[in-house]
Amino acid sequence: MQKFIGTGVALITPFKIDLTVDIDALVKLVNFNIENGTNYFVINGTTGESGTISKEEKQLIIDVIVKTNNKRLPLVLGVGGNNTLEVVKELQTRDLSEIDGILSVVPYYSKPTQEGFYQHFKAISEVSELPIILYNVPGRTAKNMEPETTLRLARDFGNIVGVKEAGNNQQQYNSLLKDKPADFLVISGDDDLALGVALGGGSGVISVIGQAFPKEFSKMIQLGLEGKNEEAYKIHFKMMDIIDYIFEENNPAGIKTVLQELGICENNVRLPLVKASAELEAKISKYVSDF
């Protein structure tokens, strides 16, 4: 699973002013990241506003990214939810021939037990022909998948190859890194903790800010993977403020504002999300102009 080591980016879905998918901006974003050091792409994750993307739009986004990418970088597709049967059905019916892996979120809203989490991902594992990266994000799902459950899944199912941890919980990262199988990937889903995870034996990051500053962020993670902490932290310290800014109100309003400042896309988001406030936009604009 070397293809999922380093810096993956959770791509936004750019929207025009009428909130249709901005294909030209998406093409620009993909090429910008390929040309500047990103290691792989994650499609239709939280940052892509998957909750407000229709099935038809999801396929359009996949098609545009596949064509633009042209096999240059590995592609990971978000396929998850709290309806296990529907997730299984999507994996069985969607054309995944151009996809390298699946990112599947812990079931949300339903708040299952740890055994429920295990059985959900067991059902997904049994039908997936692609490697699966679990996605644990308790701030959004309302319940944490404990390290013991994640490691049980890692041991029991060969196609469950990693976990994207996004609980902003250093102790949980440490528990996973301490007890994981040798080839199991612990991937940071927290941009602010990503370097520490890489230095501690993790496999990198699936990043939000990385798509705006791919050259710098991917270099930082690579330095971390190589154990070059002093050089890596110089970049980390430079990026601390912008990482805070993009999550200050909501994701992806913050990162879309950064990308607007860089001339890549507009900062339109779909309700119930709203654009970054004028105050936040001013802070982001100053950071980008000074970077």
What is the Cα–Cα distance from 201 to 205, expressed in whole angstroms? 12
Residue 263 has what pLDDT?
Answer: 98
CB 143 within 8 A of CB 167: no
Sequential pLDDT tens for the chain (291 residues): 899 999 999 999 999 999 999 999 999 999 999 999 999 999 999 999 999 999 999 999 999 999 999 999 999 999 999 999 999 999 999 999 999 999 999 999 999 999 999 999 999 999 999 999 999 999 999 999 999 999 999 999 999 999 999 999 999 999 999 999 999 999 999 999 999 999 999 999 999 999 999 999 999 999 999 999 999 999 999 999 999 999 999 999 999 999 999 999 999 999 999 999 999 999 999 999 999
- E strand intervals along 148-257: 160-165, 185-188, 204-207
The CATH H-level superfamily of 2-229 is: Aldolase class I (3.20.20.70)
What is the Cα–Cα distance from 71 to 49, expressed in whole angstroms? 24
Residue 139 φ/ψ, nearest 5 degrees: -65, -25
Residue 1 has what pLDDT?
Answer: 80
The tokens describing 62, both together, are 């996949």
What is the Cα–Cα distance from 270 to 115, expressed in whole angstroms? 35
- Residues known to be catalytic: 135, 164
CB 239 within 8 A of CB 7: no
CB 78 within 8 A of CB 103: yes
165 forms bridges with which residues in the sheet? 136, 188
The domains of the chain are located at 2-229
